[in-house]
């Protein structure tokens, strides 16, 4: 790995409005490039928006979908990347072979680099799950991608790391939803509407256990335990009938936050990721100390998929991400 400057962004999408969402991606990419970023990362389904998919019919999702890399949105991402001299990562709905996927793509100005399909796409029964991990070279770095809930299943992060990823892009649409965990729940829409006259009420909700506080329970652990850079991207504000808290951030292999969006609006931040930390962090030693002979059969054992909780089953609202 070579030192690399990466940006993560947050913005408020519009449901199904690809033209608007791509315009925001372009504006924030321009801002990131002006800050010296070589790579710019956006959130899950940032080109289409996310939560509204749960109410779409199969034909409506098909109409929203595109082929990758031949579709118009991927071509526009390549054009934007070329204009600003960066690598660009963003999410969209992909179709291939009669199936529809929640997909995240990486491009440069020279063209398509990689794509990853979400393994746990439970927002809609019409989306098919991906079936493979993805690790690829980008600017002399080994990178991986895991979308939203994929990162909560810790084996996915470990597997992507063991395949060689030094940097894992973690695009999300998450936060401010109910859970059995104390303090979790919806954020009242009036807090967002009153954010200019009463910013502290919204900040308290977004940075408390409903939002950032919940992220801090697990996100630094993914980076620390695996000794990788984690690039977390999340939207800000209304996402259909929900609110999302943003807090897009970059974490190093020690689990420390290098840069974070803390505003209540569209924002981009940049951090330098350096190779030295990869071998110095605890996660590097932990990987080397593994004893797979003790647990390979345990970790590889099948389980009953019917035991998944209700909100993860197809067609259920994703209340616990």
Whole-number mean pLDDT of the chain? 94
Indicate if the pLDDT at residue 316 is higher than 50. Answer: no
Query: Which tops the pLDDT comparison, 8 or 302?
Result: 8
How far from 40 is each of 3, 25, 114, CA to CA, in Å?
A: 15, 9, 15
Predicted confidence at residue 314, as pLDDT, reads 45
Q: How many CB atoms lie within 10 A of CB 206?
A: 26
Predicted confidence at residue 318, as pLDDT, reads 45
Predicted confidence at residue 303, as pLDDT, reads 82
* Residues present in the chain in total: 321
How far from 120 is each of 102, 130, 155, CA to CA, in Å?
A: 9, 8, 13
Buried b (16+ CB within 10 A) or exposed e, 73-85: bbebbbebbeebe
Predicted confidence at residue 310, as pLDDT, reads 53
- State the pTM of this model: 0.95
Predicted confidence at residue 250, as pLDDT, reads 98
Reported confidence tier of residue 304, pLDDT bands at 50, 70, 90:
confident
Predicted confidence at residue 306, as pLDDT, reads 65
Predicted confidence at residue 100, as pLDDT, reads 98
pLDDT tens-digit profile of 85-140? 999 999 999 999 999 999 999 999 999 999 999 999 989 999 999 999 999 999 99
* 133: its two tokens: 């991990």
Q: Name the 3-class secondary structure at 123.
A: coil
What mean pLDDT comes out for the span 24-51? 98
Asked whether 10 and 236 are in contact (CB, 8 A), the reply is yes
CATH no. for 4-312? 3.60.110.10
Predicted confidence at residue 313, as pLDDT, reads 47
66 DSSP assignment: B
pLDDT tens-digit profile of 134-182? 999 999 999 999 999 999 999 999 999 999 999 999 999 999 999 889 9
pLDDT tens-digit profile of 261-286? 999 999 999 999 999 999 999 999 99
Q: Name the 3-class secondary structure at 90.
A: strand
Give the integer Cα–Cα distance in Å for 58 and 65. Answer: 11
Indicate if the pLDDT at residue 317 is higher than 70. Answer: no
Closest CA to 264 of 185, 188, 204: 204
Asked whether 231 and 222 are in contact (CB, 8 A), the reply is no
Sign of CA dihedral 290, 294, 295, 296: positive
Give the integer Cα–Cα distance in Å for 65 and 68. Answer: 10
């Amino acid at each position: 790995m070579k030192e690399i400057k990466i940006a993560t962004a947050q913005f408020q999408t519009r449901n199904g409005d690809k033209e608007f969402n791509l315009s925001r991606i372009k504006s924030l990419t321009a801002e990131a490039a002006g800050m010296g970023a070589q790579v710019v990362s956006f959130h899950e389904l940032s080109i289409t928006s996310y939560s509204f998919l749960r109410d779409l019919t199969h034909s409506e999702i098909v109409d929203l979908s595109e082929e990758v890399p031949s579709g118009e949105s991927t071509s526009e991402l390549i054009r934007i990347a070329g204009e600003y001299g960066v690598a660009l990562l963003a999410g969209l709905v992909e179709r291939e072979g009669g199936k529809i996927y929640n997909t995240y793509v990486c491009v440069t100005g020279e063209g398509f680099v990689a794509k990853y399909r979400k393994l746990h796409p439970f927002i809609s029964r019409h989306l098919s799950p991906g079936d493979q991990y993805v690790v690829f070279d980008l600017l002399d770095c080994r990178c991986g991608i895991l979308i939203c809930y994929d990162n909560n299943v810790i084996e996915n992060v470990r597997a992507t790391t063991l395949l060689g990823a030094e940097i894992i892009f973690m695009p999300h649409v998450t936060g401010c939803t109910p859970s059995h965990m104390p303090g979790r729940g919806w954020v009242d829409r009036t807090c967002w509407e009153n954010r200019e006259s009463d910013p502290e009420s919204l900040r308290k909700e977004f940075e408390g256990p409903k939002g950032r506080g919940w992220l801090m329970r697990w996100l630094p652990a993914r980076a620390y335990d695996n000794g990788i850079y984690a690039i977390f991207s999340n939207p800000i504000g209304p996402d259909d009938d929900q609110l999302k808290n943003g807090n897009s951030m970059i974490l190093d292999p020690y689990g420390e936050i290098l840069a974070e969006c803390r505003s209540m609006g569209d924002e981009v931040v940049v951090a330098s990721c350096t190779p030295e930390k990869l071998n110095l962090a605890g996660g590097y030693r932990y990987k080397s100390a593994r004893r797979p002979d003790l647990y390979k059969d345990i970790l590889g054992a099948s389980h009953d998929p019917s035991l998944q909780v209700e909100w993860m089953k197809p067609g259920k609202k994703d209340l616990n991400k």
